[in-house]
Amino acid sequence: MPVVRTTDEAGVGLLEMLVALTLMGMLFVLLHEGMTLGRRVWERVPQRGGERLELVEGTQALLRQLLQRAYPTYRNGVVPFQGGPAGLEVVTAAPPLLGGAGRITVWLTLSRNGQLEIAWLPDTERRLTAVPRRSILLSDIAAMEMTYFGIHAEDMTPRWHPVWRNQQRQPLLVRIRLRFPAGDSRVWPDLMVAPLIDTDAECLPNTEGVRCAGRT
């Protein structure tokens, strides 16, 4: 004898089907959103790594420009190039990134919290009250070592020096090494730059012939 479903039973079956379809739809939405979020995170990781690598490359390019254009403006028989293991001061032609006009004095230092900082002051603003402009080039640096190859006045033998101060000439080469913390994906190839200008063409010797006229 055929089984005849009542109206109540048919209504229950339809309700169960609607609930099942609703749950399946919600599950599909959740899975789709999870996959979309995962894809977005995956896409952003390489971008952030690329940006960090670009910062390293840009920093190296800027420092290369500054050191290549270092100018030996003689004052009292010495050049203004003053360098140590973790910083230097140099007079150089301003690159486009730092104004691109005239000469500037540049200070490069590694702060205690691991930031590579640059400060610069145009020659036109050199006065006791002038405040250098500052910027952070890189962060999270474990250590920096700067060395200078050339001839010191006291030994007359070309070699690498940890300090270059109060010399009559600029170094022949400047080497900058940076080390990042363990696990950091950034890579800093040794930056080695040769200053291209070795003569102060604007120096007009005074009557004694020991200083440039108009300079102290």
Q: Which of residues 60 and 216 earns the better pLDDT score?
A: 60
pLDDT value for 47: 43
pLDDT value for 98: 80
Residues 58-63 have a mean pLDDT of 95
Q: Give strand pairing partners of 88.
A: 83, 108
Q: Which of residues 180 and 155 earns the better pLDDT score?
A: 180
Above pLDDT 70, what percent of the chain?
67
- SS3 assignment, position 69: coil
Cα Rg of the chain, angstroms: 32
The per-residue pLDDT for range 124-153, each reduced to its tens digit, is 776 666 789 999 999 999 999 999 999 988
Residue 37 CA: distances (Å) to CA of 30, 31, 41, 43, 47? 11, 10, 6, 10, 16
The pLDDT confidence band at residue 214, using thresholds 50, 70 and 90, is low
Q: Is the pLDDT of residue 37 over 50?
A: no
Compute the distance between CA of residue 177 and CA of residue 51 in angstroms, rounded to an integer: 20
The per-residue pLDDT for range 69-99, each reduced to its tens digit, is 999 887 777 888 999 999 999 999 998 888 7
The answer to whether 77 touches 211, Cβ cutoff 8 Å, is: yes
- The rounded Cα 104 to chain-centroid distance in angstroms is 19
**pTM beyond 0.95:** no
pLDDT value for 46: 43
The region of weakest confidence among 46-55, 166-175, 197-206 is 46-55
Q: Is the pLDDT of residue 123 over 90?
A: no
Where are the chain's structural domains? 10-42, 56-193
Residues 198-208 have a mean pLDDT of 68
